[in-house]
Amino acid sequence: MNARTADRVATALFWLGAILLVALLGGLLGYIVYHGGRHITWDFLTSPPETIRAGGGIGPQLFNSLYLLILSMAITVLIGLPAGIFLAEYARPGLVTEAVRFSIETLSSLPSIVVGLFGLLVFVVLTGWGYSLMAGALALTVINLPLIVRVSEEAIRSVPHDLREGSLALGASQWQTIWKVVMPCAFPGILTGVIIAAGRVFGEAAALLYTAGMSSPRLHFGLWNPAHPSSPLNPFRPAETLAVHIWKVNAEGLIPDLRRVGDGAAAVLVLVVLGFNLGARWLGRRIHRRLTAA
């Protein structure tokens, strides 16, 4: 085979591989959304699950997933953003910076089940909270912290240096410069990162099995006092999320319409995560366009 033919064959193979990859994604998404989409009704999304009979929904699970997402993202941003600012603006090469970077790398490569076990030990047993939303939120924080720190550091670093110098030249302190000049510029990048992290939180299950738990108490929607044990807002109650629900209904196999619940819940999960991804992408493009046009 001469070089030119080899080149043609290779090119054809690369195209084939790429088409295969796109077909794989298309097939997967299409299958999930088509098969599960038929089962998504208002009733399915809002009614509570059944334990042994058919016809249950995913209402509390959906609520738990969203509530856990808000709780966990709030904590993650509260710790991750300052850590990112520190790395981008204050850190000098040295032992502390090295240690932070090493920690971030270690955290980001930990298997989520290991994080779940750590959560079980510390947030469930040691704190005495038992299986709870708070324990789950903290476990998810461990998983997402490295992503948020890295994203905020990068976003802050990519703010042009002139802006800082201009602000400092006008007599602003370093902190004022960061807070009033750098952060607003870095905000879109950070927001995009947060949305992507939110998508990951929504789909995570392994770390939640032994932290947020595999059951929900009977919830009384309308009871909004967070201290009440059956209030949906109580952060110290056990909470089964949507992703955990898919795993659990299958592992227990007690309901006859397992397939319907699993397919429907998987479709909801994928659609929400997809929504987060597309949302982040759209937002990123929009902001990029506005910044470059300005």
Q: CA separation (Å) from 113 to 104, 110, 209, 283?
A: 17, 8, 9, 32
What number of CA atoms fall less than 13 Å from residue 283's CA on the CB side? 16
Q: Does 53 bind other proteins (CB under 8 A)?
A: no
Residues 245-274 that bind other proteins (CB under 8 A): 246-247, 250, 259, 262-263, 266, 269-270, 273-274
223 token code pair: 């009871």
Out of 55, 103, 157, 163, the only residue in the binding site for other proteins (CB under 8 A) is: 103
Q: 201 vs 234, which CB is nearer to other proteins? A: 201
User: For other proteins, how many residues bind (rule: CB under 8 A)?
Assistant: 88
Single out the residue of 209, 206, 263, 272 nearest to residue 239, CA to CA: 209
183 binds other proteins (CB under 8 A): no
Candidates 62, 68, 73, 83; binder of other proteins (CB under 8 A) is 83
Do the Cβ atoms of 17 and 221 come closer than 8 Å? no
Chain positions 208 to 247 lying near other proteins, rule: CB under 8 A, are: 209-210, 243-244, 246-247
CB 136 within 8 A of CB 239: yes
Length of the chain: 294
Q: Is 91 in the site for other proteins (CB under 8 A)?
A: yes
Contact flag: residue 75 with other proteins (CB under 8 A): no
Q: Is 32 in the site for other proteins (CB under 8 A)?
A: yes
Among 118, 157, 217, 287, binds other proteins (CB under 8 A): 118
Tokens 């802006």 identify what position?
163
